[in-house]
Amino acid sequence: MPHFTVVPVQDNSPSNYDSLEGINWVDYRDTGQGGYPGHGDTVSSDGHGNHKEDSPFLSTSDAASKRNDYYDKNLALFEEELDIRPKVSSLLSRLVSYTNVTQGAKEHEEAESADASRRQVPKSPNMGTLMGVYLPCLQNIFGVILFLRLTWIVGTAGVVQSFLIVLMCCSCTMLTAISMSAIATNGVVPAGGAYFMISRSLGPEFGGAVGLCFYLGTTFAAAMYILGAIEIFLKYLIPQAAIFHPADIHAGSGAMLNNMRVYGTICLSLMAVVVFVGVKYVNKFASLFLACVIISIVSIYTGAVKSIFLPPEFPICMLGNRTLVRDLFDVCGKTVVVGNDTVPSQLWKNFCSSENSSSALCDEYFLHNNVTEIQGIPGLASGIIKGLLCACVYVTENLWGDYMEKGQILEKASLPSVDVHGSMETFGFYVSADITTSFTLLVGIFFPSATGIMAGSNRSGDLRDAQKSIPIGTILAITTTSLVYFSSVVLFGACIEGVVLRDKFGDAVSKNLVVGTLSWPSPWVIVIGSFFSTVGAGLQSLTGAPRLLQAIAKDNIIPFLRVFGHGKANGEPTWALLLTGLIAELGILIASLDMVAPILSMFFLMCYLFVNLACAVQTLLRTPNWRPRFRYYHWALSFLGMSMCLALMFISSWYYAIVAMGIAGMIYKYIEYQGAEKEWGDGIRGLSLSAARYALLRLEAGPPHTKNWRPQLLVLLKLDEDLHVKYPRMLTFASQLKAGKGLTIVGSVIHGNFLECYGETQASEQAIKSMMEIERVKGFCQVVVASKVREGIAHLIQSCGLGGMKHNTVVMGWPYGWRQSEDPRAWKSFINTVRCTTAAHLALMVPKNVSFYPSNHERFSDGYIDVWWIVHDGGMLMLLPFLLKQHKVWRKCKMRIFTVAQMDDNSIQMKKDLATFLYQLRLEAGVEVVEMHDSDISAYTYERTLMMEQRSQMLKQMRLSSAERDREAQLVKDRHSLIRMGSLYSDEEEETIEVLPEKNQMTWTSEKIEAERRNRSNAPENFRELISIKPDQSNVRRMHTAVKLNEVIVNRSHDARLVLLNMPGPPRNPEGDENYMEFLEVLTEGLERVLLVRGGGREVITIYS
């Protein structure tokens, strides 16, 4: 234990430990940890670069004391931040009063309501390990299977295999309890039990799926307990209460099943009413129900000890080696002596057609075999214990299994019998198996008796020290119940006759409960005790299941369950109780305890599987928050427990296992599809981070092979002044090109200072993410604030991505209206971006007229995607149409490839070679070779070049004169009007403008006046020079190429859905940048949709496999 020393500091002002700083508390958003201290602070900005962290620790304090403590002399260094970083004394005073919410109430991640201050202070939890964890776990673990089916399991599977079944189930729950203890002691676990632990450890998808499975398991458990109670009621308490009766003794069990359905529905309705009226009544009777369980178990052990000295009298009547139903006759014999006469007995009358023994027609098996009577409960002193140790023949039938088919008669192998076929009419007088048994079936039936280990974690809010009580109480409860089960297997096998053990309903012992025959002082102790214990367990299940569903609904991860989060004014889950009753009724209608038990085994096993998985994942990831106080865990134990759960699921019932996993899988995918935006700090997120790190490190080994190359996009977006995406079709085009594959990064630049524009950055990112969701672009968003937009774009190109997951292609828009703008920054940013991508060896795509591109809802039923392959640039032009055709918008378009042949080229051979090349590339496309003959430069070309250069020269002179004319006006212009958000590569482009000093005072001398006059007189001369200008020959050649190519492209592709062509690079001399823009305009004139493509300097498509 660390030691702390508190040193007092003298101060004239009185200390005020209890007073709280005024916290400007912003509503704590749902991050899954809610009011749980220490998780997920949200961040905002005050507009001056000071990030304000919304405190999850403290709620709003009184306004009167809001500013009192800010000027504490000892904390003067921190006084400006005390509103966002509270004093330790204030934090600790809040943590002391922190408590868990109860199950069914508002969970921690919900914001406190307005009347939180008026709530009563909750009572401090004061339950210890015994009352809070140990006894509730005992009550939930011991149940109907122990009293109604364990003897039958021992008789059917034998002592050895029954021991193995108990060992498997109890080992599974013990390993799960170890994992659960680690999770439950890793911080405060609010009520909600397994659902809360799994969801906060594995995320909302796994949490919702397993939470619903746990809910279904608990609901079917209620049905199982009710069916057990009704079976006890109709079989052993009041058999006369049966409504439906079999037509004759040979009829099947249909009447009994109908009785179970009717009484089960009535019992379920009564229990639901009790739960609806008030849970407090259920909790008050919980101790009584637990007492019934304990008294019943004690009576079994007492009866076993008593059987050593005085075994109870329960004789069994055997015909040959077959077991007879005891309540159908009075005397176990073929004849009885009445006075001095020997007359046929009731047993004789059952098997023979006449009371005259000489002339009666009797069943063949009855005639050839003797009637004997054996002791049903031989007791511990009968030699059976010795038989268990030395494997004597007498006890071999109890030591090893005897699995039976449905309808097979119970036989005792050690008794002599003449193997003669009997009549089917007498079949109803024998005790027979009602179902076909197997080892796997018995595992599924027994496992529910090992469940209930979550009772302690569900009560964590009521425990004095939950992190100490939950592990100790749960593990001790499992140890206790396991010892009871192991000892019961041995005692039942040692004390009770084998045919009685295999008699499920006690027909051989006059319809007595088999385990009751061993109890002391009377079988009624077990019958009444087991009845009340099953009723209590059913009530507990009907109480817990609706609250679990309410907790899941309030997490709002499954939208269609939202209605079940509401209830009565006191928080009781009314709608959830109604749904629970309806689902439990489905189990009641099955009407068979043996068929319902494997169903709930599946759901509980799946829940336990994910508890083990959660512990293993957290342990292996070693997340910083994984610090459980329970130290006796290991990831290997968790994996072993997980493996055992999975094995038991398929051992019990492989088809039920597949159905349960299918239900969980569908719920998982539904939550994932709905997009459960919950950040709970779960282990799956940590696992994803670890996997991503591993994959990124693997990608760092080198650049991708040409076969794996696909465009990883950096989409440069333009935002308008309201921070909305100006051209959403850029994102539409990106989604159609990527189809959800590969990397997409959407970037934008805000012009300004980061300290002042942080809020705008957050708003911009949110706007871009919303548009990405609308356009179904799966990727990342990054907004950069820079003093110059040009520099911000360069930063994005250089720094976006991580490791091997970096962009290799840049997509940016065309600067519309650059001709009409006097501001050169519009096209200069565009050309600068082209140069940056070339320098970074990145591919570039410029969709022109992007507003005319199709939306994701449009479909092209025909048309062409035309590729104009003018120069080889790595194969991008071949690959892009293929990728676009994968999307439903472009799927029906055909691909055509055009290439240009010069005078010295063999166009016929070029066409054959290109067709062969496309065949080897496995691309289906039409091929055309366009011949471009050498021709003289036309007057039109010369005129376009002349106009281009005259315009360029004129704009330069206009900018010079405008700068002088507007010098004074610029001084008074609001400099903030220069900042326009995200105006990238367009006519609205803004750049940092050198602002002159606030005052520019000039003294006009005679020399300056003369110079000004000369400048004004030179204006006509400049105009005359503009008219007499001669175009540069290199510009004429470039314009000639652009004009000729445009003529050919428009002629061949005017009706194409999309035209892709090589984008020429910018000139090496920056003085020709404006001419470069004109060349691109001329090249693409008259085309509706154009995609300019520039390769990144590497091959992106190959003919090799």
Q: Are 409 and 431 in contact (CB under 8 A)?
A: yes
At residue 153 the predicted structure's pLDDT band, cuts being 50, 70 and 90, is very high
Residue 96 pLDDT: 58
295, 138 contact by CB (below 8 A)? no
End-to-end CA, the chain:
65
| Residue 982 confidence (pLDDT) | 39
Determine the pLDDT at residue 115: 44
Indicate whether 486 pLDDT > 80.
yes
For residues 235 and 512, what is the distance between their CA atoms, to the nearest angstrom? 8
**Distance between CA atoms of residues 1097 and 800, nearest Å:** 20
Is the per-residue pLDDT at 1083 higher than 90?
Answer: no
Q: What span, in angstroms and rounded, lies between the C-alpha atoms of 764 and 752?
A: 14
- Give the Cα separation of 134 and 139 in Å (integer): 9
Please report, as a single letter, which amino acid is at residue 256: M
Distance separating alpha carbons of residues 256 and 923, to the nearest angstrom: 71
pLDDT on residue 871 = 82
- pLDDT score at 1000: 44
pLDDT, tens digit (0-9, with 9 covering 90-100), for 683-697: 567 677 777 777 778
Closest Cα partner for 211 from 691, 663, 517, 569?
663
pLDDT tens string 988-1047:
344 433 433 444 444 555 665 555 555 555 544 554 554 555 566 677 777 878 888 888
Given a cut of 50, is residue 526 above it in pLDDT? yes
Round to whole Å and give the CA distance between 550 and 357. 71
Show the CA angle centred on residue 386, arms to residues 383 and 389, nearest 5°.
155
pLDDT the model gives residue 48: 42
CA distance 745 to 755: 24
**What pLDDT is recorded for position 709?**
79
pLDDT, tens digit (0-9, with 9 covering 90-100), for 322-376: 999 988 888 888 888 887 778 888 888 888 877 666 656 888 888 888 899 998 8
Distance, in Å, from the CA atom of 988 to the CA atom of 719, rounded to the nearest integer, reads 11
Q: Which residue has the higher pLDDT, 162 or 8?
A: 162
**How is 567-603 classified by DSSP, letter by letter?**
--TT---HHHHHHHHHHHHHHHHH--HHHHHHHHHHH
72-117 pLDDT tens trace = 556 666 666 666 667 676 766 665 554 444 333 333 334 334 444 4
User: What is the DSSP-derived secondary structure letter of residue 978?
Assistant: G
193 — pLDDT class (breaks 50, 70, 90): low
CA–CA separation, 1059 and 1051 (whole Å): 12
Q: Are 326 and 509 in contact (CB under 8 A)?
A: yes
300 has a pLDDT exceeding 60: yes
Tokens, residue 122? 């909750």
Q: With left for phi above 0 and alpha for psi between -120 and 50, is residue 322 left, alpha or beta?
A: beta
For range 131-137, the mean pLDDT: 85
* Mean predicted confidence (pLDDT) in 209-213: 84
Q: How far apart are CA 788 and CA 989, in angstroms?
A: 10
Residue pair 227/534 in contact (Cβ under 8 Å)? The answer is no
Among 188-202, 582-596, 907-921, 1055-1069, the range of highest mean pLDDT: 582-596
Instruction: Using alpha carbons, select from 801, 803, 783 the residue that is nearest to residue 793.
Output: 783
**For a pLDDT cut of 90, what percent of the chain falls above it?**
23
pLDDT at site 41: 39
% of the chain at pLDDT higher than 70: 73
**Cis peptide bond upstream of 190, omega within 30:** no
Higher per-residue pLDDT: 473 or 455: 473
Residue 298 CB neighbour total at 10 angstroms: 14
Q: What is the mean pLDDT of residues 250-272?
A: 87
Whole-prediction pTM: 0.70
The pLDDT of residue 824 is 66
pLDDT tens digits for 56-71?
433 444 443 444 444 4
Region 593-613: what's the mean pLDDT? 90
Measuring CA to CA, how many Å separate 459 from each of 36, 452, 760, 851, 1009? 17, 13, 46, 60, 94
The better pLDDT of the pair 72, 555 is held by 555
Say if residue 747's pLDDT is above 70: yes
Q: What is the pLDDT of residue 77?
A: 65
Question: Which whole-number Å values give the CA distances from 772 to 514, 740, 783, in the listed order?
Answer: 68, 12, 14
Alpha-carbon distance 828 to 986, whole Å? Answer: 9
Which pLDDT score, from 0 to 100, does residue 132 have? 82
CA–CA distances in Å: residue 631 to residues 183, 471, 608, 1026, 1105: 11, 10, 20, 88, 54
Tell me if 550 sits within 8 A of 302, measured CB to CB.
no
Q: What is the pLDDT of residues 30-40, one digit of tens each?
A: 333 334 333 33
Q: What is the pLDDT of residue 999?
A: 40
Tens of pLDDT along 311-336?
888 899 999 999 999 888 888 888 88
Measure the CA–CA gap between 216 and 664, rounded to whole angstroms.
11
Which two tokens mark 54?
């919304």
8 Å CB contact between 607 and 192: no
CB 322 within 8 A of CB 337: no
CA–CA gap between residue 7 and residue 261 (Å, rounded): 73
Q: How far is CA 469 from CA 135, 450, 764, in A?
A: 12, 20, 50
Residue 27: count of CB within 10 angstroms of its CB:
9
Could you write out the three-class secondary structure of 1038-1052?
A: HHHHHHHHHHHHHHH
pLDDT, position 554: 83
Higher pLDDT, 125 or 590: 590
Residue 571 vs residue 586, higher pLDDT: 586
Residue 550: what pLDDT?
86
pLDDT of residue 904: 75
Mean pLDDT across the chain: 78
pLDDT digits (tens, 9 = 90+) for 816-868: 877 766 666 767 888 889 999 989 989 999 999 888 999 888 888 889 999 98
The pairing of strands 322-323 and 341-344 is unpaired
Residues in the chain: 1105
Query: Residue 424 to residues 248, 363, 412, 931: CA-CA distances in angstroms?
Result: 13, 9, 20, 98
pLDDT at 896 over 80: yes
